[in-house]
Structure 1
């Protein structure tokens, strides 16, 4: 493959704006198929011969094979029977992480004659993980004169499963003084908040020990626990309060390291050490810890790692302000990553016929696909070849194209053609990719 910029050459556009996934309903499609994760290798998924309406001998004679995205071959085709089988035991969490549904896209390619079918396989989650608290013990300092109904944030549990198999609710025991509420974030994560139900008295009970339990929605449910230690405080009667509960900011994905994301600010009416505030990220995920850092004195939040819109489009994290007496308040930072055109189009060649016979009209020379992970105009693409060649580009299914001869060719007139496939996106600045191939 040769990729580069070419100048001073006339081109003609053979395709209008192409948006990824906009042609999902076009062309032949199979399935959808589904399996549960951890299905054993060699397990039956479907009979493609039956779904395609082909006899058993046709699957072999037509050169049927599976084209999968990525390096791993999750599926295999047994051409003698037409059966689609599991090639390796699927782990939904490894394949898709927290994303749901977990869809593996693949194609069925017939080489003779050339024909392609789109298909997808959904990997269904099973409840094979229990909720886990990263903090096995949480310590809260609570004023003895805190009003009833006051809420205190607690660390949430993490469950690798998705949907109903993820954490659904929390409970706490014993609950003579406290109850627990299960809250939900915009991304669907459930987190607990401790609620004061009965007045505290430090002189009577200066410390309380509770057990926080997280339950998922599996059948039967799995659970995880953490200890909560309450230290009742009889001084420092003002906790830090943020100027605003939610900070919403946008930042381009190409912002340099150290860029200022936002500055949060809290105030504390107490004086001396009890009024001195320090800022921290409250229970950040591993990715957020690598991406953002907060200045404990000023509340400035800056970038630690390069952003990538195609990997993560937004971040949500709580910022905790703690005073010298151990009291705290929190706010939420909602960070939206703004896409920039930083990905050139990609060309993937699936089939190439060379040499081709002369004196035959409209021969399929090549089958290839194009993609661009950017969004909006940055992901729209135009494909073209040189104008002075007897070849045409034709859209196939989804993001596939075929390169065909425009007319019957004459080997004695010309025995070899050098063709450059040019794919240009519509971003600013425009990025393009060139793919060179030789046809004899």
Structure 2
């Protein structure tokens, strides 16, 4: 309504101005005559000249778009207030679309439109009107410009130009969290009626999402859980005429992905695991694997495994970062004869904790692992890792040197057989009793030739010759006083016949003090 008031006011102002201009044109000869008369009669009052208001008369022109024309449609009428309707006036139309889109009745000044118009292509036309004397072809009115506006109709559908739409929002986001804004455009006139006034609504995606009707902002409306559903396809509708019946509508699909947060604690697949390890297994042996599941993904699912209690000295758990498994390994050798069963408590803990869930308790879980030690046929075990023995040099053949001792650690307690290895020459010097491990010499030893003898003794299970152990034996040959002093060379000495007692004698190499008896 305000728009029509503005247009009417504009029309009245134009009409007043044009009337004033036309009046001035018509009175121009009289005005010149008045000037001449005024010059000649300066004493005459200026009010002798009377001005007459004349000009164009027309309404505001609007043409509705998209009319299917089978005959010309009336637009309005151009008319001079001098026109007495005696066919003296001839109206001429020029400008945009004159003759091709718009026509004028040259006698009445009535305007018609003869073509269908499209406001979205051209919203207004600027034309000029002129009134001449049909007989003299002289202007009756000066040429005047006017505008024909194309009136909008709702012929354009809303369009989503920025699609496809995709957004990501953390799961468990609070209600009202903004996700994304979708925007549709409408080619109709936004300033006329409701043709381009859009209203957004949600067709698919409730109750988890909602859309603001005027802005197209999609928001969280209910708690979402990625572990339940990680992707949503939300359909938003934009409808013009502010959603009223008869309007056009268009839809857009928005793909909304839920990003993960650490809202789930790891959980062991079993409350009890059974494993076995051989007592012969070396340190570092993998005993078994345990596994906890975490519904989260990425770093939120990363976890560490630990062993609690005294068993951590014997066993350990290593976290496999690729498979998220806990690998149980042997940290210290076990002995079937000493302890055959272990019960350990294993715990799994999330590496990254979301602060929002700290009040819900620790993000961890525990399980029990029972490990059974299996018996193995172990090689004999010497009572000492190495042996040191002593024997005096020169001892008679068959003299006792020492003894080694080994036993079968298994419950079978197999008899042990001993032997000397490494070097045939050593076998000729030493001998060992195969049953009791007693070592004797086979020939006398000479410390001055060799002070130490190193031999290797083996212990082999009689029932299983493959089970064999070795131990080094170091034999020290002790010195005995079995050698008289000896000069390193022969000395020849000379002395004078008349040498005095106590006089030093001279040799080839040394001075020797010689004591002679008195004669």
Q: TM over 0.5: same fold?
A: no
Q: Could you tell me the TM-score, scaled by structure 2's length?
A: 0.35
Which of these two proteins has the greater Rg computed from alpha carbons? 2
Q: Looking at both structures, which has the greater relative contact order when contacts are Cα pairs under 8 Å and sequence separation is at least 6? A: 1
Q: Could you tell me the TM-score, scaled by structure 1's length?
A: 0.41
Q: Whose helix proportion is higher, 1 or 2?
A: 2
